[in-house]
Amino acid sequence: MNKDHAMVNDGRVSQENSAFYTAYGFLVADALLSVEEINALRKETIAIFRGERGHVEGLVAINKDESAEDILKKYVAIHFPHKISTVIRDSLFHERITGILSNIVSPNLKCMQSMLFVKGPGKAGQSWHQDEYYIPTRDRSLIGAWIAIDDATVENGCLWIIPGRPGFIMPRVKNDNNEYADVDTVDVTAYSDQMIPVEVRSGAVVFFNGYTLHSSRRNKTTDCFRTALVNHYMSAESMLPWDQDGKLPPTEDLRDIILVAGEDPYAWKGITDVNQPYLRPEILRIKANDL
């Protein structure tokens, strides 16, 4: 594996980049967003968690005298912030992000989810998982675009990736590692020598396939946040049989999506608005009630 081929230079996807993504399931684009764009996201993050952008299920009333840091320390993430924030919604269409996605996924792209993470000092990370386990596509096109709002380091809980795109969804097992907040994980013992930390600077974007194993560890700093915006995309050609982990009625094609590039072959179905912003619980228990 040539790690240089994982790096997308100046937002231009090379043949080596495409081949690397096909084989290993991830790419990294440094400085894809400008300092001004990152500052706007950082400012918007505080406004969202202050409740200034609209209702978020689970958000508590804010004391006006509370500092931004004290507010953010209470939480770990908000799902679907693009539903209440024009700044977050606009990020879904970022031309340098969609340009890369159009090269490695499809010229026809839709987004179905945004997630705003504010992992503060001491907060646990996410256990090993494959995003397709939670968000099923018909063509394995699911991809996350992980935007680093803060620098992401091993110390503050950066992403870890096991390079590759397994051809199946791996079983979930009980989690006993206090690095992670989740009650379940994937047994990655056989891959212990393949795990790599993806340390990136603010403004970088990490792209990873829905079948690629990834995780993040506990933020071990005392004064550093690891804020990141993660937007999930897929090919518009694929239907989306996603019921939001049982929150929504079963469906063959969830139409609460946003077309961000190209054409939608299913435009005749129309668009729905069923997902609403909500706080991610610190201890995640999705599809794991039997563990």
Say how many domains are in the chain. 1
**Is 54 within the bounds of a domain?**
yes
Task: Work out the pLDDT band at 290, boundaries 50, 70, 90.
Answer: low
| pLDDT of the residue at 2 | 84
Q: Is 177 helix (H, G, I), strand (E, B) or coil?
A: coil
List pLDDT tens digits, range 238-262: 999 999 988 899 999 999 999 999 9
Q: Residues of the chain with pLDDT > 90: what percent?
A: 85
pLDDT at 224 over 90: yes
pTM over 0.85: yes
Task: Give φ, ψ of 172 to 5 degrees.
Answer: -95, 140
**Is 289 within the bounds of a domain?**
no
**Is 284 within the bounds of a domain?**
no
Range of the domain at 27: 3-58+65-279
List pLDDT tens digits, range 156-201: 999 999 999 999 999 999 999 999 989 999 999 999 999 999 999 9
**Is 291 within the bounds of a domain?**
no
What does each C-alpha distance from 146 to 10, 65, 75, 174, 290 come to in angstroms? 17, 32, 19, 26, 30
List pLDDT tens digits, range 74-113: 999 999 999 999 999 999 999 999 999 999 999 999 999 9
| pLDDT of the residue at 59 | 85
Q: 288 Cβ partners below 8 Å, 6+ apart?
A: 172, 182, 183, 184
67 class by beta-carbon count within 10 Å (0-12 exposed, 13-18 middle, 19+ buried)? exposed
**Is 272 within the bounds of a domain?**
yes
**Is 69 within the bounds of a domain?**
yes
pLDDT at 284 over 80: no
Task: Please provide the average confidence, as pLDDT, over all residues in the chain.
Answer: 93
| pLDDT of the residue at 55 | 86
pLDDT at 128 over 70: yes
| pLDDT of the residue at 291 | 53
CATH number at residue 195: 2.60.120.620
**Is 285 within the bounds of a domain?**
no
Mean pLDDT of 204-225: 97
Q: Report how far apart the first and last C-alpha atoms of the chain are (Å, whole number).
A: 36
**Is 202 within the bounds of a domain?**
yes
Tokens standing for residue 107: 């010229």
